[in-house]
Structure 1
Amino acid sequence: MQHLQQLLATENSQISQLLKLSLYGLEATLKQARIEYPNDPGKDLCENVILEIHNLLEPELITENPENVVIDEAKPDQLLNVLNELREVFNTDLELNFYLGNAPLQSQNDGDLWNEIHHKLLRVPEDLATNWKKRALEIAEKNGANLDYVNLEHLPFIKDEIIYSGLNGTVQARGLCLSKKAFFKSEIAPLYNSEDLQLLAGFLLLYTKFIEIYPDLHHALKSVFSFDVVSLKSQPEQRQLYLEALSDRLQRTQKTEENTDPIINLRAWIDMDEAIHSLVFVPPAERYSWWGKLQQESRRILKKVANKAIKAGHDVKIRQLSGLYADICAYSKDDVQLDHGGTPGEVLACLRLYTRINQEEHPGRVLFRSLR
C-alpha cells in the first residue's frame, strides 16, 4: 500500500496516471459486483477493498452540502404508496414506450421510483422529458412531497448543472447534479491542462459514476467486444474492460496534443469520440435527449480538431451517420443490428464517425433497427 501511495503521488508521471485511471475502473467494477452478488463469501472483503481504493484516490470524500443541512436519507423500507399514480401513468405512456421500450419500472419504494423515472427521462427528447418532469412534480406535490435542491448526489464533470432535484416531505429522494468542484477535487483533473482534455477526463469520471448508477447501460466498443451490444450488468468484466479502453484512449489523445502533426491528433480524437459514444442504452438514447446532447459535446470539440487539420492544408471530411440505414450503410462497417427501439430501418446511434482524410476513407459504425 505504501508504494501505491507513493506512485500515485508522483507528479508528471504517466505511470501514476495510468494507475489512477485503472483504480477508478476497478472501484466501479467492485461496487457493481457487490450489488449483483449480495451473498458472495467475498462481499465483506470486497467492501474493505473498495474503501482502500477510495482512500487512495479520494482522501477527501466528495460530498456537497455547504449549508450543513441534516439530510434524511430515503429509507429502504419506504413502500411504494405515495407515488403509485406516477408509476401507473408512466408505465402506460405510449410515447415514452416508443423511446424506452416496454420494460416496466422496477422500483419498490417511492424514493427509488423518483430516481428511476428521472434516469429514464435523460434518454428521451428534452421537450418530452420537460413535460414529464412537470407531471411527476405535480403528482408528488399533490401527495405531500416537495422539491429538494440540497439533497443531491454530485457527479464530477467540467460544469455545474442540476440534472434533476430530489424530494423531501412524504417522499425522501436524492437528486443528481454535475459538479465542477467534484471534478477538480479528483486525482486526475490536475493532469489535464487544456479545456478540451478536461472535457475528456470529465467523461471518464462521469461515466465511471454513471455505470454505478445505471444498471441498464451497455457498451458497443468494437475494440473491446466486436460482435454485439454488451450489458455491463450481466457481464461485469466488460465494465472494467470498457473503462480501461476509455482511459487508454484518453491518455493517447493527451500525448498527441504534444504532437505537431494535426492528422495524428485528429485520429486520436476520432478514437476517443468513438469510445465516448459507445456507452449506450438499449434502446439507445434519442439524439436530442439530455444523454444525447451530453455525448455530442465530444463531437463539438472533434469538429474544432478537424478544422485545425483543414487549416493546415489537409483534405478532411467528417460525417455523422444518421437517417435510413439503407442510405448510409455504404459508409459504415461492422454495424450492430437491434430488433427493438426507434423506427425500423433507421440508424439508432452513430458510434463512430465516417471520415475521409487526404482521400483515404475510414468507415463509420452504427447501431440500427432491423426492418422486422
Structure 2
Amino acid sequence: MDESLCHLLDGLWTGGSALLCEPGVRSVYAAELARRADAVDRAPTEGPEQVRARARAAEALCSVVHLPPGAPGSWWHRYAEDAAGIALDAARAARAAGHDVEAFLPAGPYREAHRHTRADDVRLTAGGRPGETLACLRLWLRVGDQVYPGRVVYRGDA
C-alpha cells in the first residue's frame, strides 16, 4: 500500500489524517466506495439517477490522491480523468436523450474553478503553482433545478 495515498472524500474526510494505509481509514473508505458502486448498479441504466450515481462513484475514486496530487500526464492523473469521464459520458448521454442534465470538471486557474465549487475545496501550500487547480475531486453537476457544486484541490497563493 502506498503510504502517501490518502482520501479526501467529502463526508468522510474531516481535515485530519486520511491515509489509506491506516486500516480503519481504509475500511471506512472501502465501505463508502462499495455503497456508491452499488448505487450505480441500482440506478436505471440511463437518465438523471444514473448520472448522479456515477458522479458520486467518480467522486469517491477521484478523492483518492497523493498530496500534492499527481502531475498532469501522470498515470494517477489519467486514472482520475478516466473515472470522471465515465460520469461525464453518462451526463452527455442523458442530455442527448432529452434530460435536463449538465456536468463538467472544474479546472484551470482556481479563481475560475472556484466559481463552480463551494467552500470545502482543499487548499495546499505545496505542489503546482500558486492559484492553480491541482485535482478535481467532484464534478460540477446540474440535474434539472438541482445544482451539485464541484470540489477541487488547489495550490493557495504564496
CA distance in 2, matches of 1:288, 1:317: 26
Aligned residue in 1 for 2:78: 293
Shift of 1:292: 1.2
Shift of the 359–290 alpha-carbon distance from structure 1 to 2, 3 Å rule, reads same
CA distance in 2, matches of 1:277, 1:245: 13
Shift of 1:308: 2.3
- C-alpha deviations, 1:24-53, integer Å up to 9, x for none? xxxxxxxxxxxxxxxxxxxxxxxxxxxxxx
Shift of 1:309: 1.2
TM-score of the two chains, using structure 1 as the length reference: 0.40
Which ranges of structure 1 fall in alignment gaps of 5 or more residues? 1-211
Question: Is the Cα contact below 8 Å between 2:138 and 2:152 reproduced in 1?
Answer: yes
Aligned residue in 1 for 2:139: 353
CA distance in 2, matches of 1:326, 1:264: 30
CA distance in 2, matches of 1:339, 1:317: 32
Aligned residue in 1 for 2:41: 254
Given candidates 327, 330, 345, the residue that maps to 2:115 is: 330
Q: Larger relative contact order (C-alpha < 8 A, sep ≥ 6)?
A: 2
Question: Is the Cα contact below 8 Å between 2:125 and 2:156 reproduced in 1?
Answer: yes
Q: What SS does the aligned partner of 2:154 have?
A: strand
CA distance in 2, matches of 1:341, 1:304: 30
Q: What SS does the aligned partner of 1:230 have?
A: coil
CA distance in 1, matches of 2:106, 2:51: 18
Q: Percent identity?
A: 33
Residue identity in the other structure for 2:132: E
CA distance in 2, matches of 1:232, 1:304: 29
Q: How many residues align?
A: 157
CA distance in 2, matches of 1:347, 1:222: 17
| 2:50 counterpart of 1:275 | no
CA distance in 1, matches of 2:56, 2:17: 18
- C-alpha deviations, 1:106-143, integer Å up to 9, x for none? xxxxxxxxxxxxxxxxxxxxxxxxxxxxxxxxxxxxxx
Alignment of 1:92-103 (within 5 A): none
Question: Is the Cα contact below 8 Å between 2:59 and 2:84 reproduced in 1?
Answer: no
- C-alpha deviations, 1:156-201, integer Å up to 9, x for none? xxxxxxxxxxxxxxxxxxxxxxxxxxxxxxxxxxxxxxxxxxxxxx
Q: What SS does the aligned partner of 2:127 have?
A: coil
Which ranges of structure 2 fall in alignment gaps of 5 or more residues? none
| 2:52 counterpart of 1:264 | no
Shift of the 354–228 alpha-carbon distance from structure 1 to 2, 3 Å rule, reads farther
Structure number having the greater helix percentage: 1
Shift of the 324–260 alpha-carbon distance from structure 1 to 2, 3 Å rule, reads closer
Aligned residue in 2 for 1:218: 6
Q: What SS does the aligned partner of 2:137 have?
A: strand
Aligned residue in 2 for 1:339: 125
Shift of the 274–308 alpha-carbon distance from structure 1 to 2, 3 Å rule, reads same
Residue identity in the other structure for 2:124: L
CA distance in 1, matches of 2:16, 2:133: 15
| 2:153 counterpart of 1:367 | yes
Q: What SS does the aligned partner of 1:284 have?
A: coil
TM-score of the two chains, using structure 2 as the length reference: 0.90
Deviates more, 1:291-300 or 1:238-247: 291-300
CA distance in 1, matches of 2:19, 2:141: 28
CA distance in 1, matches of 2:136, 2:45: 29
| 2:99 counterpart of 1:311 | no
Q: What SS does the aligned partner of 1:343 have?
A: coil
Aligned residue in 2 for 1:244: 31
Structure number having the greater strand percentage: 2
